[in-house]
Amino acid sequence: MLKKLTLGLLLLSLSLVTAAQEKEEEVEGSIYIPMQPPFVVNYGGAGRLKYLKTELTLRVNDVHTAAAARHHMPLLRNAMVMLFSRQSEESITTQEGIAQLRETAKSEIIALLESEQGEADVLEVYFNDLIVQK
């Protein structure tokens, strides 16, 4: 009786693990990963202090990239802090400058994830919020 019960529990646990793996692989569409908490950095170099506050969300295409982004979030956040602090006033006060900053952020995130994981299917980087104090 104990052997049957043990075998039954083993089969049940294997079926649950298999179902969980299939469910993970069945995710279709984009996965959105917020980079929390918001970024608050000084920018603009010498002179009067200027602040930038922003919230970012990554849009990735698969669960492997999502897991890699979550795992390497401290590395990604550090890169974004460094990127935002290097900005000049001109680069974040125009629509073209903000679009370029978004593309640069995406490129840096992809490069970091590829160096750590080998591949990265990051589709977009979105600014949920962008506040600049001059």
The number of domains in the chain is 1
Q: What is the CATH number of the domain that holds 83?
A: 3.30.479.30
- Residue 9 maps to a domain: no
- Domain interval for residue 109: 28-133
* Contact partners, residue 42, CB within 8 Å, separation at least 6: 49, 50, 51, 52, 85
pTM of the model: 0.76
* pLDDT digit string, tens, across residues 101-130: 999 999 999 999 999 988 899 999 999 999
The residue-averaged pLDDT of 53-81 equals 97
Type of residue at 26: E
Helix, strand, coil share of the chain (percent; to 5): 55, 25, 20
User: Is residue 15, in this structure, part of any structural domain at all?
Assistant: no
